[in-house]
Structure formats: structure tokens, C-alpha cells
Amino acid sequence: MTKWNKHSISYLHDALVKKQVTPLELVEDCIKGIQADDCNSFEALAFEEARKAAEQIGEIKEDEYLKGIPFLAKDNYSTKGIETTASSNILNGYVPLFDATAISKLKRAGMIMVAKTTMDELAMGGTGTSGHKGPTLNPYDHERIVGGSSCGSASSTALGIAPLALGSDTGDSVRKPASYSATVGFKPTWGRISRFGLFPFAPSLDTIAYFTRNVLDASYVLTALAGKDSKDMSSSSRKKEHYQDYVINKRSLKKIGYFKAVNDAIEDERLKSKYHELLDKLKDHGYEVVCYEYPVDLLNALYPTYMIISCAESTSNNANLDGIRFGPIAEGNPKTYEEYMKACRTKGFSDLIKRRFVIGSFSLLSQNQFEMFSRAQKARRLIVDNMNKFFDGLDYLILPASYSKPKKIKELSTAWSTKPDFLDNILGLGNFGGFPSITLPLMFEDGLPFGINITGRTFEDGYVLGMAKEIEEITGLKDLVKGDK
């Protein structure tokens, strides 16, 4: 257990300003935590770079909230001079020449990156078991998944190794693992943070997202990361705000909705009663809570729509991984470019990735495009239109972030699910519409965590954080670290 970094950003900031600790001591403490990790959370380590950066940090002022504090980043962020593989064999040995904008903004704010974290290969998948380093374990139960794709960032935050770990969220890859690890997982509005240097999976859904251990910390990080970036045309030029003000002053809107179909489908009675207990307490706090009938056929369309759109975008974006610019040397002496590429890709990708590229290529074939890709785009439009209708009258959608305990690793199956379950895919709503969405701890059942998720209107990130703060105070579950008694 690390001594310092199990604390929040705001706690560490205070200690740094008061000179009770130095940035170098925080880095050394973080390194010890990484060395003691028993969940398989790490890819490349940047210990020497981190020590050097820490030594260069001078005076820390009251309003330099992030300065001198260590952080971790998922292995799909470009990091200058540090191997970046997206946990894929095809990128083994790849060392980027530049930092992703999110990384350089955190560094500019004075934060220190200490290591890269494991992930599902190329950010596809939700189990945290498909990366080239093998499964990442749940700190609360090593036999279970911590969820993915941002698995190493979730486990390291839960273990108290650093108070911030960057992840990425295309369908739920930060918000679901946050639920399984009793951490806060925040996916801000699409376009609020530049994606430059984040390896693209499905750019119309991909969002920079991250793990912290409380809501206030999540707000400080957004203040540092938000803003227009000339290197990412999809980044928004809307004025950025001081998001921490919403948390400190608990600024929130008043109308909460939940979906009838989701509520009816919850099988876990303890979860259901805890969920309603929370909604009742919110009513006592003066919020209006409404049961909303979102169309069930659109909920059932979430999974197929997500699969077609994300696989199509991913097939096209990852076409550069051809084994020539990156990747293992082909075996069997291939003669043509095509043969070479086939040999490298066969060796470089896991089965999950190959399956998704097949789906993506199939849906993009000119004879299938209309039936598959265009129809998926139309379904997405309907799904988002209906969410916007919801937001015409209501300010927040509040739902459980996971509906069962994290699965046991040995019980995972790669078989195609014949009965897609909308509960499993519900967080994808946030990505379809680019809505800001946050998961925070709700309860524990038999020692395993479950989270609650709040989604709001686009660019109302501040109000989503304000609401999250309200809930954090109700549950009292904050700054949780596994093993901390």
C-alpha cells in the first residue's frame, strides 16, 4: 500500500503547498505502488523520466491544483519517448515521437506521468483480458475481471497507486470498470477534450475519460484538459469553465429521470433497493424524480448499432497497422504486400480484434453498406433524438452503472451472445450522443462494488459533476482504496 498516493489530488495538493511532502517523494511512493501491483496493471514504466520531472518542479502555488502530483495513462495515449502498444502485439516496440494533447496538458499543469497501464487490445472489449500481457485482475477479488477496456487504469486507481489514471471511453470503457472498482470514472462531453494523440478506435464515439477517487478531483482534471486544440478539429471552441466551482458549490439542476424498462429488468434485488433508496433520498433533497418510458426497441438496438458503427470505424482507422510501419516481422517469406500484411496481422492481432475487423469490413462492403452501415447510422440518430427528447424535460438520467458482479475470469466466454442484454450496453447511450457521463460508487455486495451513473446534456459537464457531488455526499463512498482499513 502506498502511503501518499492513496490520497486524493486535493489532499496531496494541500500537503505539497504546505511542504509536508515533495513531488519526488510522491513519485517514489507511486513507483513503490507500481512495483507492489498484484493485478497486472502496467505496460511501459517511465520511472527515470518521472524522477527527473519531479526534481525540476519548484514552488507550488495555491491555485496550481495538479502540480507535482503523479498520474498514469492508458497505453493508447501517445507518449513521447515511451513505448506505446495499446496492449497489442502489433505495436510492440513502437515509441511515439510526440505526446497526446491530454498528456502534454497534464504535464504543463505540472503533473508527472509515472507509467502506462494495461488495456483490452486497441481498446476493444470490456473484460480487461484481451491485452498482450494477459488478464488484469480486480483488486477486490483476483478471480474476477476489473472490466475494460481501461482495465489497468481502473485497478491502479482502486489500489491507490496514483490519484489519476487516464482511460478512454468509446462504449463504456471507463464508466463500467469504475463501477467494478469503486472508483470515479468520468467521460466528459465528446469534443470537450482534444483527442489528438489518442489512438483512434471509433472516433465518432471515442472520448478522453479518466479515473479518480472522488468527484472534486475529476473536476480539477477537466478544468486542465478542456479546450480547443488546433490539432483536433472536433475539439470544441466553447469557453471552458472552472468545473470545480460546480462541485465546491454543489451547483446542480433539479429534474432526474430513470428508465422504466431498465428498472423492470434489474434482477439483483439488493441493487434495486439501494438504487431506489438513493432516488428517494434525492427526492428528500428537493429533486424531482420521474420514471420515463424510453422506447424499448431502441434500447434493444443499442448493441447491434454500437457493433456496426464501432467496428466499421475501427476497421478503417486501424488499416495503418499493416505490419510494415509497425508490427512483427512476417513469417513464411511472403512475396506480395498483401501476403506480408496478412501474415503480420494474423500474428499481431488477437481473435477478438480479428472478429471485429471482419464485422467492420463486412458492413462497409459496397453491397452491404446500405443495409448495415447506413441503417446503423439511422438507428443511432433515433436513439440520440429520443435522448434529446428526454433532456427536453429532464436534466439527468441516473442508472446503475453495472447490474451484476464482475464476471469470474475463468467463466468468460468468447461465444457470440445470442441474447444481447440492453443492461449490459446501456452506458453506450452516453457515447452515441456525446453526453457527459460519470460513474461513482453506490454500494458493495459481498465485498464487490457497484456504481451509479449520471448522464447529462452535452456541455453541461459542470452540472453533471455538481450532481455527482450531491450523490457522493449521500452515499458517503469517497476516496476508497482497496486494502485501506
Interface with ligand GLN by CB under 6 A: which residues?
A: 123-126, 149, 169-173, 201, 310
Return the ∠ at Cα 13 (arms to 9 and 19), rounded to 5°: 145
Q: Considering beta carbons, is residue 201 or 340 the nearer one to ligand GLN?
A: 201
- At position 128, the amino acid (one-letter code) is G
CA neighbor of 114 nearest in space, from 66, 38, 48 = 48
Q: Considering beta carbons, is residue 70 or 171 the nearer one to ligand GLN?
A: 171
Strand partners, 448: 445
Task: Round to whole Å and give the CA distance between 193 and 271.
Answer: 33
Catalytic residue list contains 173: yes
- Closest CB 12 distance from ligand GLN, rounded Å: 29
Where would I find the H helices in 292-421?
296-300, 302-317, 337-348, 351-364, 366-369, 375-393
Task: Round to whole Å and give the CA distance between 40 and 309.
Answer: 31
- Closest CB 171 distance from ligand GLN, rounded Å: 3
The string of DSSP codes covering 193-219 is: B--TTBPPSSTTT-EEEEEESSHHHHH
- Closest CB 374 distance from ligand GLN, rounded Å: 21
Catalytic residue list contains 402: no
The one catalytic residue in 8, 10, 41, 149 is: 149
Q: Tell me the CA distances in angstroms from 240 to 16, 219, 252, 462, one per residue in order.
A: 26, 12, 18, 10
The one catalytic residue in 67, 74, 116, 274 is: 74
Strand partners, 256: 289, 396
The separation between CA 390 and the C-alpha centre of its own chain, rounded to angstroms, equals 24
Q: Considering beta carbons, is residue 8 or 453 the nearer one to ligand GLN?
A: 453
The string of DSSP codes covering 211-275 is: EESSHHHHHHHHHHHBS-BTTBTTS--SPP--THHHHHTT---SEEEEEHHHHHH---HHHHHHH
Catalytic residue list contains 74: yes
- Label the pairing between strands 255-259 and 288-292: parallel
Q: Does the N-terminal peptide bond of residue 149 adopt cis geometry, omega within 30 degrees of 0?
A: yes
Q: Considering beta carbons, is residue 103 or 202 the nearer one to ligand GLN?
A: 202
Q: Considering beta carbons, is residue 156 or 244 the nearer one to ligand GLN?
A: 156
Q: Considering beta carbons, is residue 186 or 220 the nearer one to ligand GLN?
A: 186
Residues with catalytic function: 74, 149, 173
